[in-house]
Amino acid sequence: MTNYPEEAINQTSNTVAKLPLLAAVVALIGLADAIYLTIKHYTGEAVPCSIVEGCEQVLTSSYAEIAGIPLAIFGAAAYFVAFALAILAAFGNRRAWMLFSVQVVLMTIFTAWLIYLQAFVIEAFCQFCLLSAGTTLTLFMIYLISKFSRYR
C-alpha cells in the first residue's frame, strides 16, 4: 500500500466521493427526459422539436418500442437504477459503484446502437434522444474518471 501524505488522501477521497453525487444528478436529468418522453407517448401529444428536425419520425418509428412498450420506459428504468446505485455509492457502498459501472457500460452500448439507428436507418434525429445519449455518455465519462483516478 502506498503511503500518501494525509492531506493528499483526504483530497483524493473528497474528489472521488463527489463523483457518485455528480452521477446521481446527471442520472436525474436522464430520468426526467425519459419520463417526459413516456408521458408524451401515452398522451399522444407531439414532441416539440425545436433544435433538430425529426423527433416525430424517430419517436414513431418501429424502433421506438419493444413489444409495444416505449423505449423511454426502459430508459427511465435504466436512469433510475443508475441514480440509485450512484446514491448508494456516494454513501460508501463500493459494490454499488461497481454495479453502476456495469449499468453505465450497458447503457452506453445501447445508446450507440440507438444513435446508429437514428443516423443510418431512420435518417432523422430526435433532440430528446440526443439529450439522453449525451446524458448516458456523461455518466460513462464519470465512470471512466473514477476508474482512472487513484481511488480504487
Candidate from 4-13, 25-34, 109-118 with smallest mean pLDDT:
4-13
Domain ranges of the chain: 22-148
Specify the CATH architecture of the domain 22-148.
Answer: Up-down Bundle (1.20)
Q: What is the pLDDT of residues 14-27, one digit of tens each?
A: 544 799 999 999 99
Q: Say what the pTM is.
A: 0.86
C-alpha grid cell, residue 7: 492531506
Q: Measured between alpha carbons, how far is 56 from 34 in angstroms, rounded to an integer?
A: 15
Q: What is the pLDDT of residues 66-125, one digit of tens each?
A: 999 999 999 999 999 999 999 999 998 999 999 999 999 999 999 999 999 999 999 999
